[in-house]
């Protein structure tokens, strides 16, 4: 198949999503005046928060937050039953855990979701929705404020591989239930993305059928197996390409549900997540970790799609930027492919592609 698109004078005007039929138009939507930004006198400097009182004890406040967090060590009884855990020593043999005793018992933990995303009646009477707590730490090392939260890209590359390795084990665990036909991996980072808990975590959701978006990808791929390579080539042609090695490609894509949409595609790995060879999963984790570090603490949604016949791939939808969606189209600004992510004080180091 040929992906439909329009250009003028060498610039892309629109691209049709080969999986959904939706169209992304390219324009300068960021040039629109937004009155919400000018509710105060633009000549006045933005008001600054008053300094905290000298008696304020940030460490005590952080401890209060951790004591109330259901995903923090010491609060295991607040969650549903534990399914599996990974100790820090399992990931880093012979290395002391960070922050002393905070991570001594476990570094990652898997529990059932308190609210099944798929009704138990659909999955053989079992709750097949899981929460993978990516790290025992609630705050970044050296945090000086309640907003200095741990984020996925701040994990070590080794630990992030174990996040995906554990996620694959959870998929295998869920698929042992004959009523489960597919497992979707999703993540929200930041309140703007809809995350209900600030402590970093991933959800794995088992269902009695293939999830519609994945089913659509499978159907189109079966009819047009060249569609993934064609998409990669087109993104490279238009300058949306970010990085490629090991048969794994990352690029900005017009095929997402929000304006800032990135894809990471492993073209050669076309099997369920738990069947991906370990060395390939490790490479995929390295590439995804690199993308998450570049995104820094920006709010985003992540969905990992996998299954027989489609490449293992991740959709990452950024929530920071303006977008407009109407009548089945996505109206995107012309600079969407810009791969610069503004640095923040939370960043562990600067990323370049």
**What are the tens digits of pLDDT across the range 137-153?**
999 988 989 999 999 99
Asked if residue 282 belongs to a domain, the reply is: yes
Examine residue 19 and state whether it is found in any structural domain, yes or no: no
Between the two ends of the chain, the Cα-to-Cα distance in Å is 30
Classified as helix, coil or strand, 147 is: coil
3-class secondary structure, 121: helix
Full domain range(s) for residue 93 = 60-327
- Domain assignment present for 144: yes
What mean pLDDT is predicted for residues 169-177? 97
250 is written with which tokens? 């990352």
pLDDT digits over 184-193, tens only?
999 998 887 8
Q: Which residues contact 150 (CB under 8 A, 6 or more apart)?
A: 135, 137, 138, 139, 140, 199, 200
The 10s digit of each residue's pLDDT in 193-217 is 878 899 999 999 999 999 999 999 9
Q: Which CATH number belongs to the domain containing residue 302 in this structure? A: 3.30.428.10
The 10s digit of each residue's pLDDT in 63-83 is 999 999 999 999 999 999 999
212 lies in some domain: yes
> How crowded is residue 57: how many other Cβ atoms within 10 Å of its Cβ?
10
- pLDDT digit string, tens, across residues 286-310: 999 999 998 888 888 999 999 999 9
- The structural domain count of the chain equals 1
What digits encode the pLDDT tens for the residues 85-134? 999 888 888 777 766 445 568 999 999 999 899 999 999 999 999 999 99
Q: Output the DSSP codes for 246-285.
A: TTEEEEE-TTSSSSEEEEEEETT--S-GGGS-HHHHHHHH
- Residue 198 in tokens: 């600030």
C-beta of residue 351 within 8 angstroms of C-beta of residue 290: yes
- The pLDDT value recorded for residue 255 is 87
23-27 and 329-333 beta bridge pairing: parallel
Q: Which long-range contacts (CB under 8 A, 24 or more apart) does 190-193 make?
A: 190/297, 190/298, 190/299, 190/300, 190/319, 191/299, 192/299, 192/319, 192/320, 193/299, 193/300, 193/301, 193/319
What confidence score (pLDDT) does residue 92 get?
Answer: 84
> Does 8 reside within a domain?
no
In degrees rounded to 5, what are phi and psi of residue 227?
-60, -35
In a domain, 336, yes or no: no
- Strands 201-207 and 182-189 come out as antiparallel
User: 3-class DSSP state for residue 27?
Assistant: strand
Q: What percent of the chain has pLDDT over 70?
A: 82
Mean pLDDT of the chain: 85
Higher pLDDT, 57 or 102: 57
Q: What is the pTM of this model?
A: 0.86
- The answer to which of 86-95, 100-109, 238-247, 311-320 has the lowest mean pLDDT is 100-109
Asked if pLDDT for residue 164 goes beyond 80, the answer is yes
Indicate if the pLDDT at residue 42 is higher than 60: no
Domain contains 6: no
**Domain for residue 9, yes or no?**
no
Of the candidates 19, 180, 171, the residue with the CA atom closest to the CA atom of residue 110:
171
pLDDT band at 29 (very low <50, low <70, confident <90, very high): low
- Specify the pLDDT at position 59: 87
Give, for 131, the enclosing helix (H) or strand (E): strand 129-133
Q: What is the spatial distance between Cα 169 and Cα 161, in angstroms, rounded to a whole number?
A: 12
- The Cα–Cα gap between 25 and 254 comes to 9
The C-alpha atoms of residue 130 and residue 337 are separated, in whole angstroms, by: 34
């Amino acid at each position: 198949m040929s992906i439909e698109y329009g250009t003028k004078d060498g610039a892309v005007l629109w691209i049709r999503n080969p999986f959904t039929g939706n169209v992304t138009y390219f324009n300068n939507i960021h040039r629109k005046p937004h009155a919400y930004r000018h509710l105060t006198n633009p000549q006045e400097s933005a008001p600054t928060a008053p300094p905290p009182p000298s008696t304020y004890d940030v460490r005590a406040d952080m401890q209060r937050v951790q004591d109330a967090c259901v995903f923090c060590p010491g609060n295991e009884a607040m969650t549903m039953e534990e399914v599996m855990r990974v100790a820090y020593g399992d990931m880093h043999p012979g290395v002391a855990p960070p922050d002393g005793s905070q991570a001594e018992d476990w570094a990652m933990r898997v529990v059932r979701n308190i609210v099944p995303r798929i009704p138990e009646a659909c999955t053989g009477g079992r709750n097949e929705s899981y929460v993978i707590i990516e790290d025992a730490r609630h705050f970044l090392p050296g945090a000086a404020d309640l907003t200095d939260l741990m984020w996925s890209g701040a994990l070590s590359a080794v630990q992030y591989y174990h996040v995906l390795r554990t996620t694959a084990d959870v998929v295998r665990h869920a698929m042992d239930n004959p009523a489960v036909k597919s497992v979707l991996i999703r993540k929200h980072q930041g309140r703007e993305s809809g995350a209900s808990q600030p402590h970093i975590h991933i959800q794995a959701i088992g269902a009695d059928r293939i999830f519609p978006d994945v089913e659509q990808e499978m159907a189109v791929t079966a009819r047009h197996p060249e569609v993934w390579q064609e998409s990669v080539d087109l993104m490279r042609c238009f300058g949306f390409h970010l990085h490629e090695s090991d048969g794994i490609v990352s690029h900005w894509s017009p095929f997402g549900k929000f304006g800032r949409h990135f894809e990471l595609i492993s073209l050669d790995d076309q099997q369920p997540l738990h069947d991906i060879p370990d060395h390939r999963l490790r490479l995929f984790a390295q590439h995804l970790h690199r993308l998450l570090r570049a995104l820094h603490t920006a709010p985003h949604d992540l969905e990992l799609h996998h299954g027989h016949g489609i490449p293992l791939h991740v959709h990452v939808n950024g929530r920071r930027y303006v977008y407009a969606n109407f009548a089945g189209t996505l109206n995107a600004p012309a600079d969407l492919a810009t791969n610069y992510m503004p640095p923040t004080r939370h960043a562990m180091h600067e990323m370049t592609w």
